[in-house]
Structure 1
């Protein structure tokens, strides 16, 4: 009974933290600030990711010194530097996409993450996967195609709101970066047996460094400071947004440690679907029947892959 209560605690923590995270992410990136003609949008993606990486780094530091002690780390710093760059680009593209697409589209698009991971694994990692996994991922691809397909716009405003493909292109770039990050992390695990806590710590540390440099060079740091001075309440949203992300990761790590990756992947996949539903209800992001069908196919494929697609095929000779 105690184990069941703990499982419910972890699952509830994942749902609540990422539900709040999703609401804040959409509110920050798609909201309008100010009144009348002085209204403006939040366009400071680098600053947004910078705050998130700082909080993630602090979280990893605290966890490694308390409940996640993982010993000495001997991983090459070049691996951390390269994986941090791809990890950072994935987050920047994903957050930037929200300026053109709504949150449900971002969630469904990012659910395709296994696809580039598989492709890069086959091309560069000498990996092979069982046929069932290909079928489940094909279901995901079909669902995403149905969800992303744009009906002919009925007005010029809808055509602009559709983002003319910019948001989708950014999501594709984000997925490619996710795949590269996964490939680099696989090498780290194989060569150095790198632990998750160390990865999170050093990848976020490098990301903070990259972003600080980028914010200074682009001048976004000063524009962001001006935006905060005009709308100081946004700083609270940014901080709680990042804390929700870090706490969500804590519950994910605990669930993996106590129950394994399979129950965790099912919970996180289910969470994404309910996040889409919450975004539709909370922000009025209307979806067509075709998009709902596509979303169901995506999450059904991911869930089936979590349950039945984990069996490893032999490596290519």
Structure 2
């Protein structure tokens, strides 16, 4: 039984890594690529619409799966749980993207690498979770290693051109808080109603489509996005394959959350960034600095220690009592 669960977790982890590696490459191609010629080049700026279509594909993927291969029965989880978790997820993304207007990219990456910390803290405060002290230390070790690896040295001459860093860090703090709230709500759902992965994926994305749809309609971004596609129709294929990769990746994420909880999922998705960057460096033949090698060692040390000694053997509290 234990070996079967370990194999499942490994399989879900590989699914997340492979899908989101492809997802990340397409995301950079879409959002950072130059469109048009040199004289009239433009960038893709329709982030809410991109999230809308991504969530829509995820919703259709989950709906189809529930009707065919994943018949998971009735879901008793209140809609308010799904609505709240979808809202906090969107707010986390908005705050994280807005922070880049005020802080450097390395600062944003380091801030978001600390996601397992609010997951555990808010999991304890709102989800009545209990973790051993050693697990806090192992997860913090992983976060430090990922941060060391992904951090880039800042040019001192550009320090004064990065804007109001205080407000940017506040946005990152809000983003991390929203991440923690999302995980806490998901943990409460697991404790009280034990929703299946298909139901979680369906309802989370359904509410996200509703919220993001309201934004792009009210702001007029949808009309501008359609005009953009008319100018560059090849982008339709990129967005479609990007959304499909994200749908399969999120499918594996919800399987992990539903069966193992949000903390292991948070660890997997955090280290997934590390392996994506590492794979990119190896593919393009770039060398690692000594600091990046140190980060590699710390991350793998933290993962090994957590796998060997970080398991919580105490019974989980029953929040329904």
> With structure 1 as the length reference, what TM-score do the two structures score?
0.78
User: Taking structure 1 as reference, are residues 308 and 41 closer, same or farther at Cα in structure 2, changes over 3 Å only?
Assistant: farther
- Contact 1:32–1:41 under 8 Å retained in 2: yes
Of 296-305 and 166-175, more deviation after overlay is shown by 166-175
Distance 1:127 1:9 in 2: 25
Q: How big is the shift at 1:152?
A: 4.6
- Contact 1:49–1:91 under 8 Å retained in 2: no
Match of 1:39 in 2: 41
- Contact 1:265–1:306 under 8 Å retained in 2: no
Match of 2:91 in 1: 89
Alignment of 1:70-85 (within 5 A): 70-85=72-87
Q: How big is the shift at 1:199?
A: 1.1
- Contact 1:139–1:301 under 8 Å retained in 2: yes
Match of 1:215 in 2: 216
Match of 2:274 in 1: 273
- Contact 1:269–1:302 under 8 Å retained in 2: no
User: Taking structure 1 as reference, are residues 230 and 95 closer, same or farther at Cα in structure 2, changes over 3 Å only?
Assistant: farther
Would you say how many aligned residue pairs link Structure 1 and Structure 2?
311
Distance 2:134 2:118 in 1: 17
Q: How big is the shift at 1:233?
A: 1.6
Match of 1:50 in 2: 52
User: Taking structure 1 as reference, are residues 146 and 11 closer, same or farther at Cα in structure 2, changes over 3 Å only?
Assistant: closer
Match of 2:141 in 1: 139
Q: How big is the shift at 1:226?
A: 2.0
User: Taking structure 1 as reference, are residues 71 and 85 closer, same or farther at Cα in structure 2, changes over 3 Å only?
Assistant: same
- Contact 2:127–2:185 under 8 Å retained in 1: no
Match of 2:204 in 1: 203
Distance 1:163 1:240 in 2: 37
Question: Alignment RMSD, CA only?
Answer: 4.1
- Contact 1:108–1:298 under 8 Å retained in 2: no
Q: How big is the shift at 1:126?
A: 3.4
- Contact 1:111–1:298 under 8 Å retained in 2: no
Match of 1:120 in 2: 122
Cα shift readout 1:8-53 (whole Å, capped 9, x = no counterpart): 9877654432221110111222222222232222121101111110
> With structure 2 as the length reference, what TM-score do the two structures score?
0.77
Q: Secondary structure at the match of 2:39?
A: helix
- Contact 1:266–1:306 under 8 Å retained in 2: no
Distance 1:47 1:126 in 2: 36
Distance 2:311 2:9 in 1: 21
Please list every run of 5 or more consecutive structure 1 residues that lacks an aligned counterpart in the other structure. Answer: none
Q: Does 1:183 find its partner at 2:202? A: no
- Contact 2:113–2:143 under 8 Å retained in 1: no
- Contact 1:101–1:162 under 8 Å retained in 2: no
- Contact 2:200–2:254 under 8 Å retained in 1: no
Q: Secondary structure at the match of 1:187?
A: helix
Distance 2:238 2:170 in 1: 27
Q: How big is the shift at 1:208?
A: 0.5
Q: How big is the shift at 1:127?
A: 3.2
Q: Secondary structure at the match of 1:310?
A: coil
